[in-house]
Structure 1
Amino acid sequence: MEVPARILATEAAVSLVERLQHQHGPVMFHQSGGCCDGSAPMCYPAGEFLVGTQDILLGRIGDDVPVWIGAAQFDYWRHTQVTIDAVPGRGAGFSLEGPEGLRFIVRSRVFTDDEVDALEAAGEPERGAA
């Protein structure tokens, strides 16, 4: 079985990411745990949010937009495929989409047993730098 992607993005999210890249240059996401905006995927200019060894690369939107998650949150979500979507509303204060009238959210589904087996066979995802 092919290894499933841990991260996906809807057309609405990809469109918003492209708009933000046009305005701000390369971007990246970080998904942390918490309540309120702390559970929303946060979009930053690439390099503005420093990832460390406690961050795990879930995957990339397209070829060039990394999506990181805190290791503690990954432990909860390791069996879940995450889809980033963009919906009308006010974004988080520090996330780039704030003034756009849209906000990023996550949708998720639990991997099947076969998908979990394929992910485990592929090994652990990449960790951030120290």
Structure 2
Amino acid sequence: MVNRIDATQKAKDLIQDLKSKHGDLMFYQAGGCCEGTQPQCFEKGGFFPRMNDVMIGEVENSEFWVDKDLFEYWKYSHFELDVLDGFGAGGFSLETPLGKTFKINYRLFTEEELAELVPLKLMD
């Protein structure tokens, strides 16, 4: 099976650091205004996905949810979670006080990968 999301080692290291401070985590990537399309990291349960939002997978055992409309736009793309030094579009994400920003790198799936994708989970 082909994962819809993976992470760079730099992102994995930051996630482990955040877990040591905050416990279990989750990610949500919206498609709009306040935070743009920057992925946001929360304590697990600190954000409630909306009806029909999509969990595309897990990163370091942390669910990664995507806004339903954004997912429609990117559903043929592989997500790679990465991290940059500096502040992103907003300040709600747990990495912000550390002077870090999660970001996503995208690439299109190949035809072979599309046939082998891990199933999605939808928010009821």
Runs of 4 or more above 6 Å deviation: none
Aligned length: 123
Equivalent residues of 1:32, 1:70 under 8 A apart: yes
**How does 1:1-130 map onto structure 2 within 5 Å?**
3-34=1-32, 37-62=35-60, 64-91=61-88, 92-119=90-117, 123=119, 125-129=120-124
Structure 1 gaps of 5+ residues are: none
Structure 2 gaps of 5+ residues are: none
2: CA distance between counterparts of 1:109 and 1:35? 23
Deviation at 1:49, TM superposition (A): 0.2
Larger helix proportion, structure 1 or 2? 1
Question: CA distance change for structure 1 residues 51 and 35 in 2, over 3 Å: closer, same or farther?
Answer: closer
2: CA distance between counterparts of 1:88 and 1:79? 28
Q: What residue identity is the alignment partner of 1:68?
A: W
Q: Percent identity?
A: 35
Deviation at 1:21, TM superposition (A): 0.7
1: CA distance between counterparts of 2:27 and 2:38? 10
2: CA distance between counterparts of 1:9 and 1:76? 20
Q: What residue identity is the alignment partner of 2:121?
A: E
Deviation at 1:37, TM superposition (A): 2.8
RMSD of Structure 2 on Structure 1 (CA): 1.6
Give the TM-score taking structure 2 as reference length.
0.91
Q: What residue identity is the alignment partner of 1:87?
A: L
Give the TM-score taking structure 1 as reference length.
0.87
Q: What residue identity is the alignment partner of 1:102?
A: K
Deviation at 1:53, TM superposition (A): 2.4
Deviation at 1:69, TM superposition (A): 0.4
